[in-house]
């Protein structure tokens, strides 16, 4: 094996934060395998161009032949599997891409990883890791007084997205139990921070509010999510990769349950402070038709990760929201390229179907 990690979905929101974070402290190479869908933005990693520790290959998780070839060529010591279709609303209007990428794609990756792992010598076999990045949405919805999700909570996914991620979790689990593959799984709560595509609540609200557009709050705005700043998630993944117990799952959470409406209010107030306007941004809030099957509350019990591996979140949501709003304000060129779609042209010109090393 080589000192190299194979990251899928590294051009997405969490994956690009992970790679930037990794390469800021490690000399180990990163192979980023990403289809560059609408959610994959290679420009997030433009600062790594010319860095010989970083390679981006544009490819589809469902392409087993390409995965096999890349694993044999690069011989990574670990696979970190971030790639997925990730947006719940899109899964409601178009579930098939979710079944294809999240279930079929994870299956292909596990199969190619197994073949690669099978061919390693005994020592490398012991060192190799497959880390599957998943979500708390697999556990379903909580009532106001229910205890937070633990690793023992039964799966009860409610959206096509959550069901497809649950399917992928079960596959990862089976590859450990049946084939002995060294699999680790993390189930994390809602992430936010730099480079998040503005279809998700926090960046959508920041950008709409800046432009004076309506802020669409689903239902009564009282749904609760647990918010985790993305770099805390990246740190948790590193800890699980290095010290996690094989075959185990680890819940990752921010210990920051907030109602959606409270998050939107905070964003409005931050923008009013940082970019004063004639009227309060709160006036832009509009209650709109609820998301079908909208989970009421998520909460994560991350005590296993704290107890066994010493990880806990470091950034409180108020601090993280301020940082996030400031990041978007300071990166309006990124926002503009995403808003206008010009990042897609840039990807086709610079990456097309080519691999970039
Ligand atoms: P994202 O949508 O921002 O990025 C997904 C990436 O996967 C993109 O770069 C996309 O191009 C790539 N991709 C999609 N289909 C692919 C395919 N068939 N082959 C190769 N690459 C493909 O997602 P994210 O928010 O960064 O989430 C990353 C992972 O973390 C996902 O597995 C998601 O389920 C999980 N997760 C996300 C959150 C969150 O709050 N965002 C929370 C917990 C877990
Ligand atoms: O819990 C982890 C999950 O968090 C991840 O697995 C998903 O990939 C990620 O997208 C996220 O899912 P959510 O559905 O919780 O995130 P989203 O940002 O889409 O919505 C957050 C909450 O805000 C949810 O209750 C729906 C609500 N919402 C969302 C949007 C986009 C609104 O009220 N208005 C909106 O316009």
Torsion, Cα of 148, 244, 41, 164 (10° steps): -50
Distance 201 CA to ligand 2 centre (A): 6
74-92 tens-digit pLDDT = 999 999 999 999 999 999 9
* Whole-number pLDDT of residue 347: 73
269-291 tens-digit pLDDT = 999 999 999 999 999 999 999 99
Please classify residue 267 by burial: count the beta carbons closer than 10 Å to its beta carbon, then call 0-12 exposed, 13-18 middle and 19+ buried: buried
338-352 tens-digit pLDDT = 988 888 887 777 776
User: Is the pLDDT at 356 greater than 60, yes or no?
Assistant: no
218 lines ligand 2 (CB under 6 A): yes
Q: Which residue's CA lies nearest to atom 13 of ligand 1?
A: 83
- Contact present, 75 and 2 (Cβ < 8 Å): yes
105 lines ligand 1 (CB under 6 A): yes
- Contact present, 226 and 257 (Cβ < 8 Å): yes
Whether ipTM tops 0.90, in short, is yes
36 lines ligand 1 (CB under 6 A): yes
Cα 103 versus chain centre, distance: 16
Task: Kindly state the helix (H) or strand (E) to which residue 225 belongs, with its residue range.
Answer: strand 224-229
In DSSP terms, 216 is beta-bridged to: 286
Residues 6+ apart with CB under 8 A from 323: 193, 229, 315
268 lines ligand 1 (CB under 6 A): no
CATH classification of 4-191+229-253+296-314+342-356 is 2.60.40.10, yes or no? no
Confidence of residue 357 (pLDDT cuts 50, 70, 90): very low
Q: Which residue's CA lies nearest to atom 10 of ligand 1?
A: 40
Domain boundaries, the chain: 4-191+229-253+296-314+342-356
């Amino acid at each position: 094996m080589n000192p190299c990690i194979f990251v899928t979905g590294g051009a997405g929101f969490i994956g690009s934060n992970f790679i930037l974070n990794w390469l800021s402290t490690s000399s180990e190479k990163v192979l980023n395998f990403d289809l560059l869908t609408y959610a994959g933005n290679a420009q997030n990693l433009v600062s790594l161009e010319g860095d010989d520790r970083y390679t981006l290959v544009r490819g589809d998780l469902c392409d087993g032949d390409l995965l096999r070839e890349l694993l044999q060529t690069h011989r990574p010591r670990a696979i970190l599997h971030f790639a997925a279709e990730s947006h719940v609303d899109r899964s409601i209007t178009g579930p098939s891409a979710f079944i294809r990428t999240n279930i079929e794609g994870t299956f292909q990756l596990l199969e190619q990883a197994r073949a690669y792992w099978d061919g390693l010598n005994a020592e490398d076999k012991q060192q190799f890791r497959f880390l599957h990045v998943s979500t708390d949405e697999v556990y379903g919805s909580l009532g106001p007084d229910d205890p937070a999700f633990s690793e023992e909570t039964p799966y009860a996914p409610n959206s096509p997205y959550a069901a497809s991620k649950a399917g992928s979790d079960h596959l990862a689990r089976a590859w450990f139990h049946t084939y002995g593959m060294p699999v680790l799984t993390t189930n994390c709560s809602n992430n936010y921070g730099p480079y998040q595509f503005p279809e998700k609540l926090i960046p959508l609200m920041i950008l709409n509010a800046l432009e004076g557009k309506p802020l669409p709050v689903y239902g009564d705005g009282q749904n609760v999510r647990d918010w985790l700043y993305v770099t805390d998630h990246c740190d948790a993944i590193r800890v699980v990769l290095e010290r996690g117990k094989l075959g185990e799952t680890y819940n990752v959470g921010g210990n920051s349950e907030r109602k959606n409406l409270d998050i939107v209010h905070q964003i409005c107030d931050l923008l009013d402070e940082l970019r004063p306007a004639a009227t309060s941004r709160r006036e832009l809030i509009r209650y709109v038709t609820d998301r079908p099957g909208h989970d009421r509350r998520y909460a994560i019990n991350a005590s296993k990760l704290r107890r066994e591996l010493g990880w806990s979140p470091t950034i409180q949501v108020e601090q993280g929201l301020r940082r996030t709003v400031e990041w978007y304000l300071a990166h309006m060129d990124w926002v503009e390229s995403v808003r206008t779609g010009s990042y897609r042209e840039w990807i086709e010109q610079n990456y097309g179907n080519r691999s970039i090393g």
